Amino acid sequence: MYEPLVPARLAYDTAGVPWSAAYGDLYHSAEGGPGQARHVFLRGSRLPERWQGRERFVILETGFGTGLNFLATWAAWRADPQACRRLHYIACEKHPFRGEDLAILHAAWPEFADLAAELRAAWPTLVPGFHRLELAGGHLVLSLLFGDAGRQLAKLRAGVDAFYLDGFAPDRNPDMWSPALLDRLGQLANWGASLATWSVALPVREQLQAAGFRCDPAPGYGRKKSMLVGRHVVDRPSQPAPQRRAIVLGAGVAGCTLSEHLASRGWQVTLVERRPGPAMEASGNLAGIVMPRVARDDGIAARLSRACYLYGLRYWQRPAAQAAGARLDACGVMQFARSDAQEAGMRRSVAELALPDEFIHYLDRDAAQAWLGYAAPAGGWLFPQGGWANPPSLCRAALALADGQLETLFGRTVAGIERAGQDWRVLGDDGACLATAPVLVLANGVDAVRLPQAAHLPIQRVRGQVTLVPEGHIPPLKAAICRDGYATPAVDGLHAVGASYDLDDDTRPRAECDVDNMQRLAGLLPGVALDPAGFASRVGFRPVAPDRLPIAGALPDWPTLPDSTSARLADLPRQDGLYGLLGYASRGLVWAGLLAELLACQLEGEPLPLEADLIDAVDPARFALRAIRKRRA
């Protein structure tokens, strides 16, 4: 059930300590917030000692609040020359502060000024769900879980090394200390995980012990005489360290983006592409629109799209990507309604979802015309943070950032793949082995289903033709616009207008498709009628799954599937070391960044960046599960 996010209100008690009117409690001790953070949570968790010399360490905080515990932890991690290479910090927050309020709160702690500024610069749009922020050059990963802590933690897939229990007092916010939530912490704990909290309430201690934590009192902070520390004592199997070698097939936006995500974690990647360079198939278009899906019920597709869209904006606009040449212009996207009824529904959806204006707002026709500066065909949705991107530049930037960990094999046709011992072998059309590695990722679009190991994936090849309209033939576009078709502002002197949706394999541009695109353009720009004769155009092929969702994860082992309608995704056998990033259809610019992060985290054993139901929604084995149930029915 969808619940709009309600931001926290900035308030103080009579002594000037940040105060929550909603819960009637302080955000930190009156004796000093940074001191409490260091004593209760860092010292109580035996940090920095426990993260020293490790590749990765994971902390989970039950209430992010002002971010004080996070800033104190970041400062200690940065100051420690023996700190883990990669620190994951996961935090729940039902009522996050707005960025401007955080700036006021953070001014009280000048010792964290530079860290707080970096946090606020990356602070996400306040919408429900998981938000992954990459700080300190990507070595510090902050995952913010916005919404009810119990529901969010139920969807988290992670192994945690240290827990900070810092919700408001149990008598003020009992949901934060419920038996179900504390039991969930035990399920997320790695063996030996630490726990620290200022609360010593007996019910809390008893429930933590029932969840597998051995708890003991410890000296408290300030006027509080005692606090609680604990250690998880239930044995858990440890994951073997990955070998960090992978082959990626396909140098489109999916394969290039994954290559950069793996390389940043120290993987050696071999990228194999049949064309002579990157982004020469569907990812070779001049420009595509970057915008989310929105639905009144905020279902799976809308939530997944929102998470990927917001992550992608941060990912492609980060300084390193911009320096490497990634071109993404957040000029805004205006999505016009196709009918009066749809426009009324769009207006109601914005009101009911109560999403912030910086994410989406409704404009009627007059407001849309005033904002755009030319006649609008209807009202609709404005996505102020959206815009257009140049896919080839994103691919080249990702490969540049992966340099040093990446081998590219361009102009190599893959005739087959085979498992040989612990490795996958990629075979060329002459039968010679092109590359070997324990992990193989199919990111080669519709070509993937030509391989027997992926032939059961129901991916359809959909032809799309884009027409390139020279600048000056239409009014200057302030933003990207879309309805039945789309048009971008001029990019290198050309507007991208599209796109056709054809079920054939013709690779040559067709005049009738250009005419259709001009009709779509006329529906976006009333009064504009263009003859496309002489305009250039480009054909690409979209890989589309039946449910219109992307495919990301381990491929199922079709011959060994169980014959049981009670089977779950987690039960289905997989082909060892074989993964897919496929089915991006016409939204590759939205899906690419976060789904590459998802797969990289799965391969590394890191906390996953999406809710469990969204991960299941893109799992390649979902089609196998449906086939099992259909067969039994």
Give the end of a domain, one of 509, 527, 543.
Answer: 543
Token pair belonging to 352: 């009911």
Q: Cα 633 to the chain's mean position, in Å?
A: 35
Residue at 593 is within a domain: yes
Mean pLDDT, to the nearest integer, of 534-554?
A: 96
Judgement on whether residues 56 and 123 belong to the same structural domain of the protein: yes
C-alpha distance from residue 58 to each of 163, 314, 506 (Å): 9, 22, 50
The whole-number pLDDT of residue 196 equals: 97
Average pLDDT of the chain, as a whole number: 95
Question: Do residues 573 and 556 make contact, with C-beta atoms less than 8 angstroms apart?
Answer: yes
Both 209 and 344 in one domain: the answer is no
Regarding whether 143 and 32 lie in a shared domain, the answer is: yes
> In 385-460, which ranges are continuous DSSP H helix?
391-401
User: Whats the size of the chain, residue-wise?
Assistant: 633
CB 594 within 8 A of CB 307: yes
* One domain for residues 429 and 441: yes
pLDDT exceeds 70 at position 150: yes
Q: Of 292, 377, 337, 333, nearest to 480 (Cα)?
A: 333
The pLDDT tens digits for 425-473 are: 999 999 999 999 999 999 999 999 999 999 999 999 999 999 999 999 9
Q: With bands split at pLDDT 50, 70 and 90, how would you rate the model's confidence at 289?
A: very high
* 299 assigned to some structural domain: no
Q: Are residues 603 and 503 part of one domain?
A: no
Q: Is residue 3 assigned to a domain? A: no
User: Residue 35 is inside which H or E element, if any?
Assistant: helix 33-36
Amino acid identity of residue 525, one-letter, is L
Looking at the fold, whether 496 and 371 belong to one and the same domain comes out as no
321 part of a folded domain: no
In a domain, 470, yes or no: yes
| 206/212 Cα distance (integer angstroms) | 10
Smallest CA-to-CA distance from 246 within 579, 586, 540 is with: 579
Number of domains in the chain: 4
Does 438 lie in the same domain as 527?
no
Longest distance between any two alpha carbons in the chain, whole Å? 82
CA gap 497, 59 in Å, rounded: 47
CA distance 432 to 488: 44
Alpha-carbon distance values, 552 to 168, 293, 442, 623 (Å) = 38, 19, 10, 12
What's the pTM?
0.96
**Residue 600 domain-assigned (yes or no):** yes
Whether residue 380 contacts residue 368, with contact meaning beta carbons closer than 8 Å, is answered with yes
Range of the domain at 468: 461-476+490-543
Range scoring the smallest mean pLDDT among 6-20, 411-425, 478-492, 533-547: 6-20
Q: What average pLDDT does this structure show over 52-74?
A: 97
Map residue 393 onto helix, strand or coil. Answer: helix
* pLDDT exceeds 80 at position 1: no
pLDDT at 246 over 90: yes
Q: What is the pLDDT of residues 2-50, one digit of tens each?
A: 889 999 999 988 888 887 888 888 888 777 789 999 999 999 999 999 9
Quick one: 467 and 399 in the same domain? no
Please give the pLDDT value at position 585: 93
Same domain for 401 and 412, yes or no, is yes
Last residue of a domain, one of 501, 516, 543: 543
Q: Name, in order, each residue with C-beta under 8 angstroms of 131's C-beta and a sequence gap of 6 or more.
A: 124, 143, 144, 145, 146, 307, 310, 311
pLDDT of residue 564: 73
Percent of the chain whose pLDDT exceeds 90: 88
**CATH assignment at residue 71:** 3.40.50.150
Amino acid 384: pLDDT = 98
Do residue 31 and residue 97 come from a single domain?
yes
User: Does 322 fall in a domain?
Assistant: no
* pLDDT digits 0-9 by tens, 96-121: 999 999 999 999 999 999 999 999 99
Interaxial angle between packed helices 300-317 and 588-604, expressed in degrees from 0 to 180 and rounded to the nearest 10 = 90
Mean pLDDT of 190-215: 95
For 225-235, how does the pLDDT look when each residue is reduced to its tens digit (9 = 90+)? Answer: 899 999 999 88
Residue 55 banded pLDDT, cuts 50, 70, 90: very high
- For 473-515, list the strands marked E by DSSP: 480-482, 486-487, 494-498
Amino acid at 418: E
The 3-class SS string of 295-353 reads: CCCCCHHHHHHHHHHHHHHHHHHCHHHHHCCCCEECCCEEEECCCHHHHHHHHHHHHHH
- Is 220 domain-assigned? yes
- The mean per-residue pLDDT over the stretch 56-74 comes to 97
From the list 462, 442, 453, the residue with the least C-alpha distance to 544 is 462
pLDDT beyond 70 at 525: yes
Give the mean pLDDT of 254-275: 98
Q: Could you tell me if 421 and 568 lie in one domain?
A: yes
Question: What residue type is 223 in one-letter code?
Answer: R
C-alpha 155/C-alpha 632 separation (Å) is 29
The answer to whether residues 205 and 227 belong to one domain is yes
Closest CA to 53 of 78, 82, 88: 82
